[in-house]
Amino acid sequence: MRNLTLMTDEDRWLAVLARDPRADDQFVFAVQTTGIFCRPSCRARHALRKNVRFYPDAHHAVQAGFRPCKRCMPDKCDPQAQKLAKVEHACRLLEQDPALTLEKLAQQVAMSPYHFHRLFKSVTGMTPKAWQQAARGQRLRTALAQGDKITDAVLAAGFPDSSSYYRKANDALGMTAKQYRKGDAAVRYAIDNCALGRCLVAESERGICAILLGDTDAQLMEELATVFPNAEHAPLDDDFVQRIHQVIASIDNRSVPLALPLDIRGTAFQQRVWQALRTIPCGETASYQQVAQAIGQPNAVRAVAGACAANTLAIVIPCHRVVRNDGALSGYRWGTARKALLLKREAKRREG
C-alpha cells in the first residue's frame, strides 16, 4: 500500500473502508453524489462504492470539479496543524472579545458552529464558553494579584459590569474577589530538604495549597510567586513545622499517607484530571490518552497534558505517573530525572 503504482482501485477502496492513515499521501477519493473529496482516513460515513472515484491528489480532484472535505481537509498539507491553528486563533479572538458568540466565532474560523464546537472541545477539553469563563477568571486573578482595585480588576477581566461579576463570582474564583485577595495574602510557606532535593510547602487557611520541588530556594520562591504572588515566608512555629514534616514524610515515603487538608485550586477541567490522577495506583502508570478517556473526553489529550503541567501539589497529585503512549517519560514540571526516580521508587515498593 505504500507504492501508489501497485495499488488497484480495489486496494484503494479497502484502504478507505479501513480509514488507513498510511494511504493519505497516496490518493484521495471523491463521492459523486455529494461533490466532495476526502482523504482515505476521513471519519465521515462511507459512501456507496459505485459513487466513489479515486484521484492521485487534491489537485486532480479539484480539476474534476470536486470540493475538499471540511472535516479531513485533503487539500491541506497537515490537517491536524490546520485544526490546531483554528483553535488557537479562536482562543485569541475570545481573549480580545469576551462577548463573542459561538456563531460569530465559528464564522471567523470558517467552520460551522457544530463542527467548530466539537473541534474546540476535543483540543482544549472544554467548550468555548467554559474556556472563555476560565480565561476571564485567570485575568481576574492576575489583576487582583497585581494589586488592582477590585472594580478595575473586574472590568479589565472582561466582565461587563461589577454586578454581573458578583452574580458569577463562584464561576470565576470560587469566592468573592475580596476573599480571594485575602486568601492569597494569607498563604505562607517554608522550604526544607526532602529525598528529591529542596521542597517548598505552602498553606492557606484551607489547607496545603502548594508542594514544589527544586534544586534551589530561589527557584522555588520564583515558581511560587507565579501562583501566589503575595505568599509570605512564615516563621516556623511548632504547628507549622509539624505539618511541613508530615508533608516531607509523605513525599519521602509514599506508604505514609498525607492526612492534612488540601486547598486544591484549578479550573473544573483541571480538577477532573487531577482527581483521575489520584486514582492511578502507586507503582503503576497511565498514558495521557488513558487519562483523557477516564474523564470521558478521549480527544482532550493535549488539555490533559496541560492540566498535569499546571499541578502545584507534587506527588500528592501524582502527575509523575502519566507517561506517553509508548511508555516513555514525557515532560515533568520538576524535571524528568525526578520523574524517573519517583517511578522507579514506586515500582520497587510495589514489587516488595
Residues recognised as catalytic = 38, 319
Q: Where are the beta strands (DSSP E) in the chain?
A: 28-31, 36-38, 52-55, 67-68, 188-194, 197-204, 207-214, 232-233, 286-287, 322-323
Q: Where are the beta strands (DSSP E) in 137-251?
A: 188-194, 197-204, 207-214, 232-233
CA torsion angle 327 328 333 335 (round to 10): 130
CB count within 10 Å of CB 213 equals 22
Spacing of C-alpha 154 from chain mean position: 26
| Contact call for residues 141 and 180 (beta carbons, < 8 A) | yes
Letter for the amino acid at 21? P
| Contact call for residues 258 and 201 (beta carbons, < 8 A) | no
Helix, strand or coil, per DSSP, at residue 153: helix
What is the spatial order of strands in the sheet that 232-233 belongs to? Answer: 207-214, 197-204, 188-194, 232-233
Going from the C-alpha of 175 to that of each of 8, 107, 165, 310, 350, the distances in angstroms are 65, 35, 11, 21, 41
| Strand duo 197-204 + 207-214: pairing | antiparallel
Alpha helices by DSSP H, listed for 285-335, are 288-294, 301-310
CA atoms within 13 A on the CB side of 195: 13
How far from each other are the two terminal CA atoms of the chain, in whole angstroms? 49
